[in-house]
Amino acid sequence: MEVSVVLTFHLTQSSSCHHLIDDCKQYEDDSYIFRTSVLLTTPMTAQIPTTTRSYYFPTRGSYKNLVLQTTPLPALRSTNVLVKIHAVSLQYRDLIVASGQYRISRVQDNLVPCSDMAGEVIATGSDVTRWKVGDRVCANFSTDHLDGDVTAEILDTSLGGGQHGVLTEYKAFPDYCLVRIPEHLSYEEASTLPCAALTAYNALLGPKPVKAGDSVLILGTGGVSTFGLQLAVASGATVITTSSSDAKLAIAKKLGAAHTINYNTTPDWDKEVLRLTEGRGVDHILEVGGPGTLEKSIASVRYAGYIHIIGFVAQNPAALTSVIGPCIGKAITLRGILIGSVAQFESMNRLLRAHPEITRPVIDKVFKFEEAIEAYAYLESQKHVGKVVIQVESE
């Protein structure tokens, strides 16, 4: 009888490869022959860096104040995960933070900006069991928003605001705030998920989810709006999209919009929405336009419909005064959206995996890490459809 015994040993990180040594020794003992193999393995981990290059704002007022610096990385805490950041995507919020006008949460001094990233785990703290070296991950927008309602304390953990952000080569995160990247997405694509995609998901598939047969009005073709269009289409809804550009509307059509409206050539776009819905109005509106569009959105939504407000409308109470009466008169629900939780992020990723092509992130342009200021300028120009991404590390 022959018995094979495999002995496995883990070598130190200084070893550079895997070795399989089969000494083929045989020991005859009556009818038994023992064959021993020694499998030597090493953790597939790069050497842990001691410094990182990061952008920061010595003073805010403009994104042009960004400065690239090299700083030491602190020792990794036992419950933290060190991530090599491959890609960062920009949000309109990043422009507001840079300008010094952001009021939703506190903002760190000498802030490292940006909230949305995708990267690779390169080291784990001694108490971390969920993640391993090589895992591809995103971090949630507010690191402490695990589930349920948002609070002021949770908002103070927002990346690129309440705490330093992700426009850096390496960053340590609490293990509980990370979410696994869907397998079919690149790092650049995955970097668009934490804010834009999750905001759209929370709006349209949160407490009152869009369902097959619903009608949805999407204002604009920016990051949140484009994801909203894709998620609504994946849910079986009929989507109407508005934009000032026929070229952008053509892209929206390719993404599944049933109807498109150029609000420059059709300034009374609310009447066009009513015409397209035979006077009923739409079930849901993804409202990103602010005070300039809210009254027309109220005219476009059905009785007892839902308007999901993204952005900074809620910071200007005067802008809402004129719409309170119509909202009550039509029993409309106005819901402010503040990104989402880790639990919602994981739920959204299940939908992305189920509909990989319909929901694939739309990236307009990718900039190099050294071109961060140019990336901000391009975002500010509003020429983009979908997302603007900064590649920190090539795949």
| pLDDT of 380 above 60 | yes
| Residue 320 confidence (pLDDT) | 64
Return all residues near 18 (Cβ < 8 A) that are at least 6 apart.
Answer: 40, 41, 42
Tokens 């073709």: give the residue: 221
pLDDT band at 354 (very low <50, low <70, confident <90, very high): very high
Q: What is the mean pLDDT of residues 379-387?
A: 94
Give the three-state DSSP class for 273: helix
| pLDDT of 348 above 80 | yes
Q: What is the mean pLDDT of residues 139-154?
A: 97
Distance CA 164, CA 386 (A): 25
Beta bridge partners of 70: 53
Q: What is the mean pLDDT of residues 321-344?
A: 91
| Residue 21 confidence (pLDDT) | 32
Instruction: Supply the pTM of this predicted model.
Output: 0.85
Q: What is the mean pLDDT of residues 253-280?
A: 98
| Residue 317 confidence (pLDDT) | 57
| pLDDT of 170 above 90 | yes
Distance CA 104, CA 155 (A): 8
Provide the sign of the torsion angle of the four alpha carbons 361, 365, 369, 373, taken in this order.
negative
| Residue 98 confidence (pLDDT) | 97
Q: What is the mean pLDDT of residues 36-49?
A: 50
pLDDT, tens digit, 9 for 90 and up, residues 193-219: 999 999 999 999 999 999 999 999 999
The residue ranges of DSSP E strands in the chain, in sequence order, are 2-10, 19-29, 32-41, 51-56, 67-72, 80-89, 116-124, 136-139, 170-174, 178-180, 215-219, 238-243, 259-262, 282-287, 301-309, 333-336, 363-368, 387-391
**137 and 180 in contact (C-beta within 8 Å)?**
yes
pLDDT, tens digit, 9 for 90 and up, residues 275-298: 999 999 999 999 997 777 999 999
| pLDDT of 45 above 80 | no
| pLDDT of 9 above 60 | no
pLDDT band at 325 (very low <50, low <70, confident <90, very high): confident
Give the three-state DSSP class for 83: strand
| Residue 388 confidence (pLDDT) | 98
Residue 344: both structure tokens together: 């919602």
| Residue 316 confidence (pLDDT) | 56
| Residue 249 confidence (pLDDT) | 97
| Residue 151 confidence (pLDDT) | 95
* CB atoms near residue 132 (< 10 Å): 13
| Residue 44 confidence (pLDDT) | 42
pLDDT band at 258 (very low <50, low <70, confident <90, very high): very high
Most confident of 3-7, 11-15, 307-311: 307-311
| Residue 212 confidence (pLDDT) | 98
| pLDDT of 311 above 80 | no
For residues 287-298, b (16+ Cβ closer than 10 Å) or e, as one string?
bbbbeebbebbb
| Amino acid letter, residue 283 | D
Return all residues near 357 (Cβ < 8 A) that are at least 6 apart.
Answer: none
- Nearest 10 degrees: Cα torsion 233, 287, 222, 338: -100
Return all residues near 372 (Cβ < 8 A) that are at least 6 apart.
Answer: 55, 66, 68, 167, 390
For residues 370-386, b (16+ Cβ closer than 10 Å) or e, as one string?
eebbebbebbbeeebbb
Which of 271, 258, 262, 267 is CA-nearest to residue 243? 262
Distance CA 35, CA 27 (A): 8
pLDDT band at 264 (very low <50, low <70, confident <90, very high): very high
**228 and 306 in contact (C-beta within 8 Å)?**
no
pLDDT band at 312 (very low <50, low <70, confident <90, very high): low
| pLDDT of 64 above 90 | yes
| pLDDT of 33 above 80 | no
Q: What is the mean pLDDT of residues 213-228?
A: 96
Q: Domains in the chain, start-ordered, CATH in brackets? A: 2-41 (no CATH), 51-192+365-391 (3.90.180.10), 198-336 (3.40.50.720)
Which of 86, 310, 334, 301 is CA-nearest to residue 198? 310
Q: What is the mean pLDDT of the chain?
A: 88
First and final C-alpha spacing in the chain: 49
| pLDDT of 313 above 90 | no
| Residue 39 confidence (pLDDT) | 36
| Residue 250 confidence (pLDDT) | 97
Residue 365: both structure tokens together: 């342009």
| pLDDT of 137 above 70 | yes
Q: What is the mean pLDDT of residues 102-123?
A: 95
Distance CA 181, CA 62 (A): 32
